[in-house]
């Protein structure tokens, strides 16, 4: 997800490998994951790495990870000190 003055945006990949930038609405984060509330259709492919180098209309090569290979972002566990 790319945060811009226009709101949250993502790059969506079409069946020819061309990306386009699209504005989406976000729901609250769940377990470290950004949740898209609206702006995408089921089954659409979204670029999750390298968005900073992309421009709309570019063609990309898809490098898919095996199912279950994607890990959630690391979360910090709160610690307390006994004073």
pLDDT value at residue 57: 86
Mean pLDDT across the stretch 19-31? 91
Q: What is the pLDDT of residues 31-79, one digit of tens each?
A: 888 889 999 998 898 888 877 888 888 888 877 766 555 555 555 455 5
Burial 3-24 (b: 16+ CB within 10 A, else e): eeeeebbbbbbeeeeebebbeb
Do residues 10 and 21 touch, judged by C-beta distance below 8 A? yes
pLDDT value at residue 34: 85
pLDDT value at residue 40: 92
Q: What is the pLDDT of residues 28-39, one digit of tens each?
A: 988 888 889 999
Q: Which pair of tokens denotes residue 36?
A: 């898209």
């Amino acid at each position: 997800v790319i945060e811009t003055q226009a709101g949250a945006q993502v790059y969506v990949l079409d069946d020819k490998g061309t990306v386009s930038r699209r504005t989406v609405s976000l729901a609250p984060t769940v377990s470290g994951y950004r949740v898209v509330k609206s702006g995408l259709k089921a089954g659409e492919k979204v670029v999750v790495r390298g968005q900073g180098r992309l421009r709309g209309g570019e063609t990309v090569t898809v490098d898919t990870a095996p199912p279950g290979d994607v890990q959630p972002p690391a979360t910090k566990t709160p610690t307390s000190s006994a004073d």
